[in-house]
């Protein structure tokens, strides 16, 4: 088992951005980092939902746009993120989830963090597209116990039947090849520019191989984060 990085009292992870195409495992790795360093995950999806539920001024503005089928503009999302970053639980760092999604958001975030001690470091989790396709389109779930299988990499003992309770497995509506390619196209059009933005800041960017067991990817991310934070230019 890998040795953990120093805890938050010895090592400040600071703002961490996990990048990668749909299905690379960003959510899984974010949860592991959160647990290790006791830092929050800041999700723009959660911020939008929270502001709408609490009927904040920003939330009502976003809801009005979304009701009309319009996208929430960067300026509005940035403002929500700015308010969240001001909360005390972000002192040692945080994991960014779904933000920055565009080049404008990435540039805004760098400007926002100028006054802070640590800039964002970005770690791109790279997985071949063929592997991602199998990960997503091969997913099957038991509607009773919630166990998730993959027909390519972790199939049930009996085809389409849950090992635990013999219930017929189901495929989520958005786990189809068509939806996968739509999400990949959207990723290339928007988020790939964010990856290149951070790649151009070499001392704040690194790539890890995500086509490995979860614990090995975690170990690589830990080592990469430590290296990026100890870079003399940071």
For the question of residue 26 being annotated catalytic, the response is yes
* List 135, 139, 204, 222, catalytic entry: 139
- Of the residues 26, 135, 140, 229, only one is catalytic, namely 26
Residue whose structure tokens are 């600071």: 14
HSE at residue 26, side-chain half, CA atoms within 13 A, is 22
Between CA 61 and CA 135 the distance in angstroms is: 37
Measured CA distances, 29 to 55, 73, 103, 186 (Å): 32, 28, 23, 22
* Active site annotation includes 199: no
- Give the pairing type, strands 41-43 and 14-19: unpaired
CA 95 to chain centre: 8
Q: 55 an active-site residue?
A: no
Q: Cα(143)–Cα(148) distance, rounded to whole angstroms?
A: 9
Distance of CA 138 to the CA centre of its chain: 21
Distance CA 23, CA 131 (A): 9
- 189 burial (CB, 10 Å; 0-12 / 13-18 / 19+) is exposed
What does residue 186 show for φ and ψ, rounded to 5 degrees? -65, -40
Catalytic residue (one of 101, 140, 204, 229): 101
User: Annotated catalytic residue: which of 31, 49, 168, 172?
Assistant: 172
Q: Where are the alpha helices (DSSP H) in 94-176?
A: 103-112, 129-137
With the C-alpha atoms ordered 79, 81, 83, 85, is the resulting torsion angle positive or negative? negative
Instruction: Respond yes or no: is residue 183 known to be catalytic.
Output: yes
Decide if 172 is catalytic. Answer: yes
List the catalytic residues. 26, 101, 139, 172, 183
């Amino acid at each position: 088992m890998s040795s953990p990085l120093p805890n938050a009292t010895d090592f400040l992870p600071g703002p961490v951005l996990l990048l990668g195409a749909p299905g690379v495992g960003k959510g899984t790795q974010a949860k592991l980092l959160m647990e290790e360093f006791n830092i929050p995950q800041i999700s723009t999806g959660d911020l939008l939902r929270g502001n709408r539920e609490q009927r904040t001024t920003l939330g009502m503005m976003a809801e009005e746009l979304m009701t009309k089928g319009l996208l929430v503009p960067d300026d509005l999302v940035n403002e929500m993120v700015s308010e969240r970053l001001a909360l005390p639980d972000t002192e040692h760092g945080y994991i960014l989830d779904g933000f920055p999604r565009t080049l404008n958001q990435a540039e805004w975030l760098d400007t926002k963090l100028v006054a802070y001690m640590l800039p964002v470091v970005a770690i791109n989790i790279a997985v071949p597209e063929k592997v991602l396709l199998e990960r997503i389109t091969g997913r099957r779930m038991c509607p009773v116990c919630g166990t998730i299988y993959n027909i390519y990499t972790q199939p049930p003992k009996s085809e389409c039947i849950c090992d635990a309770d013999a219930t017929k497995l189901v495929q989520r509506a958005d786990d189809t090849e068509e939806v996968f390619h739509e999400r990949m196209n959207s990723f290339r059009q928007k988020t790939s520019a964010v990856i290149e933005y951070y790649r151009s800041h070499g001392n704040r960017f690194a790539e890890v191989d995500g086509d490995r067991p979860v614990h090995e990817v975690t170990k690589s991310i830990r080592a990469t984060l430590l290296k990026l934070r100890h870079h003399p230019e940071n």
